[in-house]
């Protein structure tokens, strides 16, 4: 039985290293380049970036949060990474900003911001979610 597995593994290795032509290698290389993510886009031209940044600048968010460093609360880029691809993230996080609470990022509670409208809180969250790869 052991000889069978060794033989099978050896056949797979030989086939994997096998004799494709250099044009195959070029095609594979081109395909890899085409599927790699593009260079980071300039998010500062995004209207959500500008509007959200302006709202955050007028608030007390930066007392507890930084873009890429944990302070009292999580870093914005960590929040963006955690909620990347979550369809309901904007609404959920905006409600969390308004209501406050704890438990998601540890025991330190987030201060409630009831003075914010849902629309403003959503705009702030859209800005934060843009920071995923920054």
Q: For 70-119, write each residue's pLDDT tens digit.
A: 999 999 999 999 999 999 999 999 999 999 998 889 888 999 999 999 99
Number of domains in the chain: 1
Q: Look at residues 102, 89, 99, 73 and name the one whose alpha carbon lies nearest to residue 129.
A: 89
Answer whether residue 11 is part of any domain.
no
What CATH code is carried by the domain that includes residue 93?
A: 1.10.760.10
Answer whether residue 9 is part of any domain.
no
Answer whether residue 106 is part of any domain.
yes
Binding site listing: 61, 65, 110
Domain of 109, in residue numbers: 43-129
Count CB neighbours of 117 within 10 A.
10
Answer whether residue 88 is part of any domain.
yes
Answer whether residue 124 is part of any domain.
yes
pTM for the predicted model, two decimal places: 0.68
Answer whether residue 22 is part of any domain.
no
Binding site listing for heme c: 61, 65, 110
- Would you state the pLDDT for residue 118? 98
Answer whether residue 4 is part of any domain.
no
Answer whether residue 3 is part of any domain.
no
Provide the strand spans (E) within 1-134. Answer: none
- The pair of three-digit structure tokens given for residue 115, joined into one six-digit string: 């003075």
Q: What are the Cα distances from residue 48, in Å, to 45, 74, 83, 87, 129?
A: 9, 21, 17, 17, 10
């Amino acid at each position: 039985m052991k000889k069978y597995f060794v033989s099978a593994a050896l056949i797979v290795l030989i086939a994997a290293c096998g004799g494709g032509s250099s044009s195959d290698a070029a095609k594979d290389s081109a395909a890899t380049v085409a599927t790699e993510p593009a260079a980071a886009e300039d998010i500062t031209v995004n209207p959500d970036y500008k509007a959200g940044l302006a709202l955050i600048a007028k608030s007390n968010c930066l007392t507890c949060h930084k873009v890429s460093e944990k302070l009292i609360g999580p870093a914005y880029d960590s929040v963006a990474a955690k909620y990347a691809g979550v369809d309901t993230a904007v609404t959920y996080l905006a409600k969390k900003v308004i209501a406050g609470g704890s438990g998601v990022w540890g025991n330190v509670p987030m201060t409630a911001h009831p003075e914010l409208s849902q629309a403003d809180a959503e705009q702030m969250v859209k800005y934060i979610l843009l920071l995923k790869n920054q």
